[in-house]
Chain A
Amino acid sequence: MSVTSYKMDGHNPGTSAKGWKRDGNSPPATPTNSTPGPGDLTDEQLLADYREGNREAFARLISRYQRELFHFLVRFLGNRAAAEDVFQEAFLQVHQSVNAFDPERRFRPWLFTIAANKARDYLRSQARRPTTPLQASINATDSDSGEFIDLLKSKDPGPSEPMEREEQQARIQNIVMGMPEHLREILLLSYFQQFPYKQIGEILDIPLGTVKSRLHAAVAYFSEKWKSLNQRPGAA
Chain B
Amino acid sequence: MSETLSDEDRRAVDFVLNGESTVSAGTTMYLGTAHADLGARIQATETLLALLDALPVFDPPDDLLARTMKKIETAGLPGSQPTAPETSINAAEDVASAPVG
Residues of A within 8 A of B (CB): 3-4, 6, 8, 17-18, 22-25, 50-51, 53, 55, 58-59, 62-63, 66-67, 70-71, 74-75, 80, 84, 87-88, 91-92, 95-100, 144, 148, 151-152, 154-155, 165, 168-169, 172-173, 176, 180, 187, 190-192, 196-197, 212, 215-217, 219-224, 226
Given contacts A3-B73, A151-B56, A172-B54, contact A96 B82 (CB under 8 A): yes
> Contacting chain A: which of B9-17, B23-31, B32-40, B86-94?
B9-17
Distance between Cα atoms of A229 and B81 in the complex (Å): 48
Count of B interface residues, CB-CB < 8 Å: 43
The prevalent SS among residues of B at the interface is helix
Contact A66 B60 (CB under 8 A): yes
Residue among A4, A59, A71, A190 making CB contact with B17, cutoff 8 Å: A190
A223 and B55 within 8 A (CB) = no
Complex: how many Å from CA A63 to CA B66? 10
- B67 CB, min distance to chain A CBs, angstroms: 7
Cβ of B3 to closest chain A Cβ, rounded Å: 4
Is B101 interfacial (CB-CB < 8 Å)? no
Within 8 Å by CB of B10, from A165, A216, A221, lies A216
A24's partner among B57, B71, B73 (CB-CB below 8 A) is B57
Complexed CA–CA distance, A210 and B14 (Å) = 13
The one of B4, B71, B78 in contact with A99, judged by C-beta atoms closer than 8 angstroms, is B78
**B17: chain A residues within 8 A (beta carbon):** 190-191, 197, 215
Cβ-neighbour of A219 out of B49, B66, B75, B79 (below 8 A) = B49
Q: Which positions in B face A, CB cutoff 8 Å? A: 1, 3-5, 9-10, 13-14, 17-20, 45, 48-49, 51-61, 63-73, 75, 78-82
Minimum CB–CB distance for B101 against chain A, Å? 30
B13 touches A6 (CB 8 A): no
Q: Which residue of B lies closest to A100 (CB)?
A: B79
Taking CB as reference atom, which chain B residue is nearest A173? B55
A6 and B66 in contact (CB under 8 A), knowing A88-B71, A176-B52, A222-B48?
Answer: yes
> A70 to chain B: which residues have CB within 8 Å?
58-60, 64
Contacting pair B69 A59 (CB below 8 A):
yes
User: Which residues from A are CB-within-8-Å of B4?
Assistant: 216-217, 220
Q: Which residues of chain A are near B54, meaning CB under 8 Å?
A: 165, 168-169, 172-173
The interface residues of chain A lying within 8 Å CB-to-CB of B61 are 84, 144
Residue of B nearest to A144 (CB): B61
Cα A3 to Cα B70 in complex, Å, equals: 6
Pick from B1, B3, B4, B82 the residue with the most CB of A within 10 Å. B3
Cβ of A96 and Cβ of B5 under 8 Å apart? no
Cβ of A62 and Cβ of B68 under 8 Å apart?
Answer: yes
**B51 CB contact (under 8 Å) in A63, A91, A172, A221:** A172
- Asked whether A87 lies within 8 Å of B57 as measured between CB atoms, the reply is no
B53 contact set on A, CB distance < 8 A: 22, 25
A17, chain B: closest CB distance, angstroms = 6
